[in-house]
Chains A and B, each alone.
Chain A
Amino acid sequence: EVVMAQSPATLSASPGEGATLSCRASQSVGSKLAWYQQKFGQAPRLLIYGASTRATGIPARFSGSGSGTEFTLTISGLQSEDFAVYYCQQYNRWPLTFGGGTKVEIK
């Protein structure tokens, strides 16, 4: 199976700062990568699909990039509601697999 590794495990930042989250696949997944945000006690929310396409209603401060095995989620200007856990997911091969998550916390 395709193993997804996310880094860092925890990212501390202040509101207004930018944040860069990484996701690495154990083999190429092309652009078949999605990013999700999960707040405590809530279900995940789709942010990005196709590595770089924002899902419906997602603010422009969220952007995704990358292809193959290296992907990045960038949050430009963190807002209070952005402090959460972020997961990447590949859908190039079955089984579908998720990364272990990056927690973005308030510094």
Chain B
Amino acid sequence: DVHLVESGGGLVKPGESLRLSCVASGFTFISYSMNWVRQSPGRGLEWVSSISSGSDNLKYADSVKGRFTISRDNDKNSLFLQMDSLRAEDTAVYYCARRRSDITGWYEFDNWGQGTLVTVSS
């Protein structure tokens, strides 16, 4: 079974930093692109960032570009999201999600973690 377990969430003040982690198991991590998707309390889903299997292709939502950095360690089956200059509007549950297939142009998420809550408040 595929398992994705996020950690690192918490309560921080505006302007502070946080690093999220996601540990994967049950599949060949190095073969999959990975992603972060967030969901604000009571709101819908927002894609945040994506990283290719070899870390050579990174993408970010405009709302986090320049503040968030996605990375991965294939030796440790781990995905990371470094979040700097946090704002109140970054408050959300952050999900780690696996891209279903590396077929060009197909970018749906077939496995998700349970999420980690990030709260940005003074």
Contact = CB atoms under 8 A, between A and B. Distances in A.
B44 A99 contact: yes
A95 B61 contact: yes
The residue among A55, A87, A91, A101 with the most chain B CB atoms within 10 A of its own CB is A91
Interface stretch (A10-18, A45-53, A66-74, A75-83): A45-53
Contact of A98 (B45, B50, B112): B45
Given A95-B61, A97-B47, A43 B113 contact: yes
Interface stretch (B23-31, B78-86, B101-109): B101-109
A38 to B, nearest CB: 8
B109 A46 contact: yes
A43 B95 contact: yes
Nearest to A95: B61
B100 interface: yes
Interface residues of A, number: 24
Nearest to B114: A43
B46 A98 contact: yes
A96 interface: yes
Given A46-B100, A94-B59, A34 B44 contact: no
B110 interface: yes
A44 interface: yes
Interface of A: 32, 34, 36, 42-46, 49-50, 55-56, 87, 89, 91-92, 94-101
21 contacts: A32-B106, A32-B107, A34-B108, A44-B45, A44-B95, A44-B112, A46-B108, A49-B110, A50-B106, A87-B45, A89-B108, A91-B105, A92-B105, A94-B59, A95-B61, A95-B62, A96-B47, A96-B50, A98-B45, A98-B47, A99-B44
